[in-house]
Amino acid sequence: MSAKKGLHLTLKIWRQKNSKTKGQFETYKISDVSTDSSFLEMLDILNENLINEGKEPIAFDHDCREGICGMCSLYINGRAHGPDTGITTCQLHMRMFKDGETIVIEPWRSAAFPVIKDLMVDRSAFDRVMAAGGFISVNTSGNTLDANAMLVPKEDADKAMDAAACIGCGACVATCKNGSAMLFVGAKVSQYALLPQGRVEAKRRVLNMVKAMDEEGFGNCSNTGACEIECPKGISLENIARMNREYMAALVDQG
């Protein structure tokens, strides 16, 4: 049996020294790429080739490579995380591409996510939004009740866990034509708003997080639903609606 033929690809990759310099696409050829390899493994091979040629490798973010950390933020052929659904870039395999294909690889495009270098962007805006939400004041010093003693409707618990599945990758922002972070913020608000432990600071939390989101320069919701479609964890648009309700209630209460 003959060995499986590898892919021969043309890669158009965004190269940018830092956030203050102008970037541009550069073209690279890569051959004999296994269809079983992941997209990041393909980039590893390309970087090895570049290093062997005495050239600077391409900077891109990655960490766990298990679809959990959300670091592998690449815009591939016009889609966040590439031509598949429900996956991060590290879970994208080269069998999704055809031999001889040209693949365009870019960083997230958002004013709130400035380019650090090449395909890496600064997503610390997400960290600041979460920090603005603060913490819960429920006593965790050992005087708390058993988890089983605090009854939570299963539907609420399930929705809270679904919202908490957000990995903060930023695909929602990169996909939205307005660069909105409302799906991300909605998920972070919802995971607390649905549970009794999060109700103590609920009003302060949503007001502060929405304010921080606006200050970071994220755009308004475009109402197209692209964020939910491209989210690797399938975070529902219901979380945006819930955040809006929480926000309006907090404003009314604030007077």
Q: Using a pLDDT cut of 70, give the percent of the chain over it.
A: 94
| Strand, helix or coil for residue 137 | coil
- pLDDT for residue 2: 45
> Which residues, 6 or more positions from 181, have their beta carbon under 8 angstroms from its beta carbon?
112, 125, 126, 129, 172, 173, 213, 216, 218
Q: Is the pLDDT of residue 77 over 60?
A: yes
Delimit the domains of the chain by residue range.
7-116, 123-253
Rounded to whole angstroms, how far apart are CA atoms 187 and 209? 11
Task: Specify the higher pLDDT residue, 5 or 132.
Answer: 132
For the stretch 27-70, pLDDT in tens is 999 999 999 999 999 999 999 999 999 999 999 999 999 999 99
- pLDDT for residue 1: 38
> Which residues, 6 or more positions from 114, have their beta carbon under 8 angstroms from its beta carbon?
19, 121, 122
- Tell me the CATH number of domain 123-253, given options 1.20.58.220, 3.10.180.10, 1.10.1060.10, 1.20.1630.10: 1.10.1060.10
CA 10 to chain CA mean position, Å? 26
Amino acid making up residue 84: D
Calculated CA dihedral for residues 246, 250, 253, 255, nearest 10 degrees: -140
Q: CATH for 7-116?
A: 3.10.20.30
- pLDDT for residue 143: 67
